[in-house]
Structure 1
Amino acid sequence: MTSGTDNSSSQTDFFELSSSQTSAHPHFAELCNALYERELYQLATQGPSQIQLLRRRLSGLSHHVKRAAYFLANNDAPIEVDSHNASWQGKQAAKCPGYQVDGEKNAAWFARHAQHGLVVPVRVALLDTQHVELDSVDRVLPDERKLHVNKHGWFHFSGEPLAEASSAPLSQHQLLRPTKPIMTAACCGHAWNHKGKTSPRALSLREMLLSGTIDWKTFRLTKPR
């Protein structure tokens, strides 16, 4: 029978790099294990009910986990990485930094910089709670001054949604112009309610992948690593 110690060692080595790579990425395996455990829990509790879709998600899981771990291990972000939890850590503001939006500044920024693949923040408010999520632009209509993001749909350049999702009538969404405080809140999973700060939420694997592609100097689209 294999001992518990052997099982632990096998799990730790599952995502190991070569010896030369390990010296350059000492936390890679730990990051992978944390990401893998978190995503498996999400798939088990909130994943797709269709077997084929679930199999497809699982088949690509290892690749996406390694990619997210690589970004975390090689980041140049002005926020810290908690390798034990595979998460970003940064000081949380007293209030959501995306609560007040200047529509004109939003519109001017997106008119200049909106393009396919750009990582953008979206403020999500549900009942008395709110947080900022990372999303990505997948379509831009400059003549109509609007864009579409992968998860949250269509927005005017000003940040207002074209239509709220009927499946979540109590939620509100606002596209935000990326700034350091807003992107820090999004990457760290900061959340607030009417009393103030609440426990941070865990980012999805998709958001972790998006967080690794942010250009923290300009917040504009950069070439993929």
Structure 2
Amino acid sequence: MNNQGHTKQQSTIWQDKATRLAYAELANVFYAREIPSLSADPDLDRLQRRLSSLPYYVERAATHIVLGEVPLELDSHNGCWLAKQRKCPQWHSDEAKTFYTANASVGLVVPVMVIDGGVTCVYLDTLDQTRDGLWHCNQFGWFDCSGNAVDEGEQADLPAKRYLLKPSKALMTAACCGHRWQYHKILPPRTLGLREMLLASSVNWANVRKKQQRK
């Protein structure tokens, strides 16, 4: 489809009342969710920068979510994805090593399992660099090719137990929906921030082990 056709298609989509309502609900809930956390920032200069950029990220996230192709149920009123929660995932080092040695690439959205205080969560992150057989995730730092976190001084504030998992639709779904477990018992889901909500629309759902091809 050429740019003119794509623009016309988007314009037609925005004429739909349900689409406009979902966008408005998402924007409202994202502002309500982000402003309290921003207000706790003690650095005034950083707070001002983050506040000035907030409208851009709210608009971008709401637009990508509404116009995206995420195969999950969207609760626009609460700003979250919905799907049935399954059993607690496990880290398999051999499976991760096979994938990250041969098939991973910078820019890929990946699932990271975090175990903190007996609570297991799966988060979305992106691979942003690689060196010496290691992979770096934008939020959760360095991992070896087996998916085990590598201690680095800059990662002192990150959870101690972090595992890079081989991407699968089940894991991506768990991350998008904020699924949590405590000793394999299902807990209420966590709330995703703007970054992860936007990452969900960047997943190549047709093949989660490859990067999404931008149109």
Same fold (TM over 0.5): yes
Structure 1 counterpart of 2:151: 163
3-state SS in 2 of match to 1:85: coil
CA shift digits 1:23-66 (9 cap, x unpaired): 27231111111111111122234xx3211111111111111111
Q: Superposition pairs for residues 50-129 of structure 1, below 5 Å?
A: 50-93=43-86, 95-97=87-89, 99=90, 101-129=91-119
Matched, 1:130 2:115: no
CA distance in 2, matches of 1:74, 1:110: 31
Segments of structure 2 that go 5 or more residues without pairing to the other structure are 1-10
**Are the aligned partners of 1:123 and 1:173 in contact in 2 as well (CA < 8 Å)?**
yes
User: Any idea what SS the aligned residue of 2:65 has?
Assistant: helix
2:141 is equivalent to residue 149 of structure 1: no
Q: Separation in 2 of the partners of 1:73 and 1:185?
A: 20
Q: 1:30 to 1:171 in 2, by over 3 A?
A: same
My pick for the range that moved more, 172-181 or 73-82, is 73-82
Paired residue for 1:34, among 13, 17, 29? 29
In the alignment, residue 202 of structure 1 is paired with which amino acid? T
Q: TM-score, normalised by structure 2?
A: 0.85
| Alpha-carbon separation, structure 1, partners of 2:47 and 2:113 | 28
Decide whether the 8 Å contact of 2:122 with 2:179 is kept in 1.
yes
Which residue of structure 2 aligns with residue 218 of structure 1? Answer: 207
Q: 1:195, CA displacement in angstroms? A: 6.0
> What is the number of residues matched between the two proteins?
201
Distance, in Å, in 2 between the alignment partners of 1:113 and 1:33 is 39
State which of 194, 198, 204 in structure 2 corresponds to 1:205.
194
Q: Is the 8 A contact 1:139 1:147 kept in 2?
A: yes
> Which stretch shifts more, 104-113 or 115-124?
104-113
- 1:140-168 Cα offsets, whole Å, 9 max, x none, are 12xx3211011111101110111274335
What's the offset of the Cα at 1:20? 7.2
What do you get for the CA RMSD once the two structures are aligned? 2.2
Distance 1:57 1:180 in 2: 32
CA contact (8 A) 1:127 1:171 kept: no
Q: 1:52 to 1:113 in 2, by over 3 A?
A: farther
CA distance in 2, matches of 1:19, 1:217: 25
Q: Deviating runs (4+, > 4 A) in structure 1? A: none
Distance 2:107 2:166 in 1: 15
Question: Aligned runs of 1:181-196 on 2, under 5 Å?
Answer: 181-194=170-183, 196=185
Paired with 1:152 and 1:44, the residues of 2 have a C-alpha distance of 24
Could you tell me how far apart the structure 2 residues matched to 1:182 and 1:139 are?
22
Contact 2:31 2:58 in 1 (8 A): yes
1:60 counterpart SS class: helix
Structure 1, gaps ≥5 residues long:
1-17
1:139 corresponds to? 129
Partner of 2:151: helix, strand, or coil?
coil
Deviation at 1:114, TM superposition (A): 2.3
2:100–2:145 Cα contact (<8 Å) kept: yes
